[in-house]
Amino acid sequence: SYELTQPPSVSVSPGQTARITCSGDSLPVQFAYWYQQKPGQAPVLVISKDSGTSSGIPGRFSGSKSGTTATLTISGVQPEDEADYYCQSADNSGTYPVVFGGGTKLTVL
């Protein structure tokens, strides 16, 4: 199977920068996408195609990728950014067209 690996949790104070990583062997050739999910709500797309901020998402959210690691960066974290974040991609063989990372709980201290 193909896996995307995320840290289970990240904690930051308000105003600081949060970075959430996602590692996967196919990421050099496949786009990474990021979703934010708040309790009791459906996920919301925040970053598409590695680094494109989705419509309506604040500019403090950005994405990047280097080799086998994609990173979601939240600059100047706000209390309302506390949520679970999931990366999503695909393997390069087509066997696993959609795979989600395990999710990262962002806590704003």
Partner 1 sequence: QVQLQESGPGLVKPSETLSLTCTVSGALITSDYWSWIRQPPGKGLEWIGNIFDSWNTNYNLSLKSRVTMSIDTSKNQFSLRLSSVVVADTAVYYCARGPYDFCSAGSCYFDYWGQGTPVTVSS
Smallest gap from residue 75 Cβ to partner 1 (A): 23
Smallest gap from residue 22 Cβ to partner 1 (A): 12
Binding site for partner 1 (CB under 8 A): 1, 30-31, 33, 35, 41-45, 48, 54, 86, 88-90, 94-103
Smallest gap from residue 24 Cβ to partner 1 (A): 13
- Residue with Cβ nearer partner 1 (48 or 69): 48
Residue count (the chain): 109
What is the full DSSP assignment across 1-52? ----B--SEEEE-TTS-EEEEEE-TTTTTS--EEEEE-TTS--EEEEETTTE
